[in-house]
Structure 1
Amino acid sequence: MNSFREYDGVKLARNSGTAIAPDFRGKGLGKSMMEKNSELYEKQGVHRAYLEAISTNTAAIRLYQSVGYVIIDRLLIMSNEQSLEELNVQNAASTYTLVRGQAAEVASAAFYLPGEVWQTDASNIRDGECVFVYKEEKLAGYGLFKRVFDAAGSLTAITLFRCEVAPGHPDAKEVLKRAVLEIMQPGHACKRSAFNIRASHKELVEVLTELGFNAGMEQVLMVREYNVE
């Protein structure tokens, strides 16, 4: 199952899923499928291909490595079902201004880049929203998220997908915290999660951890480069 996208002249692909029925596992079918998949990518002129695998699925990871994929990061799926007020978190007034918008608007940020984590790109989040963090009218950061409501209009879940800071900003962690608190709506009782957060984004992971989020599952992010003439 594949998806394709082109950005700045570079054609990207993502393997959205590879599955083999239990009765047919251990017969080399996985490698055959992945090799056939690579042929498809080459015909499509793909420059770079991504996929994710659950970190405990060592057999799948070995399979992907055998056909040229390498691990470039870990992806954390974090959650917190408590009210943030119960964690003594206060969204104190600051010199930052926060503005909400639709998910697609984050593409207007000069430092927005289509993510290597396919599912957290703005274009892939249906009914998504964003929050922009400004300081002195200059964009300092943004957060990308989605809210879910029940039939009665009550908020039931909030999922954070991405939270980024302008390169070189002197107070990156504070910007991240402002964005996350705005997104997570302290005081509301609902399910809160952060999906496929890159472990290498240490400041964001620290902010989420300080707000009571815990990683319940982890994936590896893998990539394979193709030589396209």
Structure 2
Amino acid sequence: MTSLPEAFRSAARGAGATASDDDLDAAARHLLGCWTEPQRHYHDVSHLESVLDVVDRFAHLAPHPDRVRLAAWLHDAVYDPRALGDANERDSAEFAAGLLVSLGAPDEAAAEVARLVSLTAGHATEDDDPDGELLCDADLSILAADPERYAAYTAAIRREYAHVPDDAFRGGRSRVLTELLKLPSIYRLEPIREQWEDRARANLEAELAELA
């Protein structure tokens, strides 16, 4: 089985990074340190591994799968549950661009990975953006989990927002779920949509009913 640092090194090489293996491994270790910060209960290494697994499973749908893999690594590199708006995604995108340039990735590839990271703020993509669609679908894959895993996900999210009073959390979470349910489709890529759309909507509707 490929280790996470090996997977990062392979994706970085695929995206054109020219840094030494030692530097790539050091970057991977730094990122794994980010993903294991104590404030993370859902947005942790398990989430990273889940997103990477989906990207690998559907890599054939993306023109630049290694860029998508790097965006998966970097999309929650900065994560503070107390941050406002899309500050986490914006800071993660900025960090992604700087890190990849420092690792010798071409400017265009670094900028594209940063753009992909920024999409996870609202999971909104253009019609012809299969790389972005794959990243967003992978990031939202938890919504189509079985009931037990979905319950563990919602409990972990609540722990991340333990600083928010119950009433405020229920209101904010309900708005998020309502906006997701308003989308024509939660998942954008057809093979993923066919597999997960109905289950995800059922999970969201059930959680929304519980919050009410």
- Provide the TM-score with structure 2 as the length reference: 0.28
Larger Rg: 1
Q: From the two aligned structures, give the one with the greater helix fraction.
A: 2
Higher RCO structure (Cα 8 Å, ≥6 apart) = 1
- Provide the TM-score with structure 1 as the length reference: 0.27
Q: From the two aligned structures, give the one with the greater strand fraction.
A: 1
